[in-house]
Structure 1
């Protein structure tokens, strides 16, 4: 049976630079690539050597997405949940849904475009 892992997720956002800066701080990631994309758009890949988020935009990107249509949330693993929450708050976003159950602690937030993220720590 082949072994796999998530390599990337491609999200449409209204401001890829703003989103990239958040994930660079939140996850200690770096910009892997940026350039032109389909439909007159642009993309920034931000992540580490193994996995990344492709942050895509084009002139039709409007944000205002709804949870569950079709995405429920994107989970991000961090080693310091308290510092991660401070970074989210400093970005002007509002953490919610704080939970502490096996296998770890977590909180959620919506980004500027309405995409929900779960931030979890197993430490």
Structure 2
């Protein structure tokens, strides 16, 4: 059996708020929440098989301002999520007050991107 991606761990400003937003957008649930390294807090949000670990450091820990991840070695470029109904997903993104951009039809599907309030980019894709 090939290896399977289980989770990606990302630093966000507010793990609880980000988890709630991702739940509204993609129907994901919180798998776990609790204390994390360096006095931080983590929320795991996703499915039974795959999730995002949303980490925030201790109070007062500095976050690096938004940057162009595509020019930062080791930067996270985007997180891709597959949905059944791309138009409905985009409507939910817009309802969150976020801006969808870079729409494209490509072989084999359709996609768009958006940035969350922490500047993390998500690709939302649908395949026929």
Q: TM-score, normalised by structure 1?
A: 0.92
Q: Which residue of 1 aligns with 2:65?
A: 64
Partner of 1:19: 18
User: 2:78 matched to 1:77?
Assistant: no
Post-superposition CA distance 1:3-43 (Å, at most 9, x none): 01211000100011111112112221100000000111100
RMSD of aligned Cα (Å): 1.4
Alignment match, 1:51: 50
Q: What is residue 125 of structure 2 aligned with on the other side?
A: 120
Q: Which has the higher contact order (CA 8 A, sep 6+)?
A: 1
Q: Where does structure 1 differ by over 4 angstroms across 4 or more consecutive aligned residues?
A: none
* Native 8 Å contact 1:12 1:61 kept in 2: no
Residues 30 and 48 in structure 1, CA contact (< 8 A), matched pair in contact too: yes
- Pairs aligned (count): 122
